[in-house]
Amino acid sequence: MVRDAGYALAAAALGLLIAWRLFDGTARNLVQGWYVPILAATALLLLAAAAVALAAAVREGPPRWRRPTAAGAVAAAAISLPLIVAAAFEPRPLASSNLNLSAASARQFSASASAADPARRNIYQWAYEFETADPAAIAGQPVEVIGFVFRRDGDPPERFRVARFVVACCIADAQGFTLPVLWKDASTLANDQWVRVTGRVGIGPGGEPIVLAASVDPIEAPQNPYIYP
């Protein structure tokens, strides 16, 4: 009975944890949206397995007391500690502290990155254009994107980057994409502040494309902070 009850408690705890994160919406900070039904089914299966294991334990009758073994203690810790940590820390969206601009050369683009209509491009699609297109060919095209602010110490007061993470499956494969923005009040923006940037593509001093912002408006963080390719 002791073993079956332990299995039941572990399965129930994990099932309830998954259900909790689905209910409060924070599961979307970890995985792409189409995983939500899979996680919901997993939670239901775990809770069902817990009920079956608990019923089996009850049928065996009251357990005999046994001295805990080292192997049992290790197994209990291996099961309980991850659950405690997962319950104690609320999953948060990836932010500016997770950006790694030095890995930009290793980024990969999917077929969806190429969008012909500039008015419909998101940060991911504009990043593709900035990296692959002739700056003169896209100069003057209108830009309207939403993302969070990324500024580093030493950045010019009139410059910042608007950023977004692209997630194909879960945050383990997340890639950060940014667009350089020129705006007179850039120094007033705080890292991770969500904004809507409207302007046009210009050419920077080094010949690189840059967004010449006509307006930068604060907005609420979107319910889904990631872009799915």
Q: What is the pLDDT of residue 12?
A: 85
Number of structural domains found in the chain: 2
Structural domain boundaries, residue 67: 2-88
Classify strands 209-218 and 175-182 as parallel, antiparallel or unpaired: parallel
Let me know: does 14 contact 42? Beta carbons within 8 Å: no
Q: What CATH number did the domain enclosing 204 receive?
A: 2.40.50
Q: What is the pLDDT of residue 115?
A: 67
For the cut 80, the answer to whether the pLDDT of residue 73 exceeds it is no
Q: Which pair of tokens denotes residue 148?
A: 């969070």
* Residue 194 neighbours by CB under 8 Å, 6+ apart: 146, 147, 148, 149, 218, 219, 220, 221, 222
If asked whether residues 41 and 105 sit together in one domain, one would say no
Percent of the chain at pLDDT above 70? 83
DSSP for residue 220: P
Q: What is the pLDDT of residue 2?
A: 46
Q: Is residue 227 part of a domain?
A: no
- Buried/exposed code over 146-177 (b: 16+ C-beta within 10 A; e: otherwise): bbbbbbeeeeeeebbbbbbbbbeeebeeebbb
Report in angstroms the alpha-carbon separations of 201 from 111, 119, 145, 185. Answer: 22, 12, 12, 18
If asked whether residues 82 and 129 sit together in one domain, one would say no
pTM beyond 0.75: the answer is yes
Q: What is the pLDDT of residue 65?
A: 45
Of 71, 82, 70, the C-alpha closest to 10 is 82
What is the distance between the alpha carbons of residues 121 and 217, in angstroms, rounded to a whole number? Answer: 18
Of 175, 197, 170, the C-alpha closest to 128 is 175
Given pLDDT bands bounded at 50, 70 and 90, which one contains residue 1?
very low
Q: Is residue 102 part of a domain?
A: yes
Q: Is residue 229 part of a domain?
A: no
Q: What is the pLDDT of residue 226?
A: 93
Write down which residue in 59, 88, 117 finishes a domain. 88
If asked whether residues 117 and 84 sit together in one domain, one would say no
If asked whether residues 109 and 181 sit together in one domain, one would say yes
Write down which residue in 68, 88, 108 finishes a domain. 88
**Model confidence over 15-72: pLDDT tens digits?**
889 998 998 888 888 888 888 899 999 999 989 988 887 787 677 766 554 555 666 5
Let me know: does 43 contact 19? Beta carbons within 8 Å: yes
Lowest-pLDDT range of 4-8, 19-23, 44-48, 105-109 = 105-109
* 24 burial via Cβ count (<10 Å: 0-12, 13-18, 19+): exposed
Q: Collapsing DSSP states into helix, strand and coil, what is residue 163? A: strand
If asked whether residues 68 and 26 sit together in one domain, one would say yes
Given pLDDT bands bounded at 50, 70 and 90, which one contains residue 92?
confident
Q: What are residue 74's phi and psi, to 5 degrees?
A: -65, -40
Q: What is the pLDDT of residue 208?
A: 94
For the cut 60, the answer to whether the pLDDT of residue 113 exceeds it is yes
Place of tokens 């500016």: 96
Average pLDDT over residues 181-189: 95
**Model confidence over 151-160: pLDDT tens digits?**
988 889 999 9
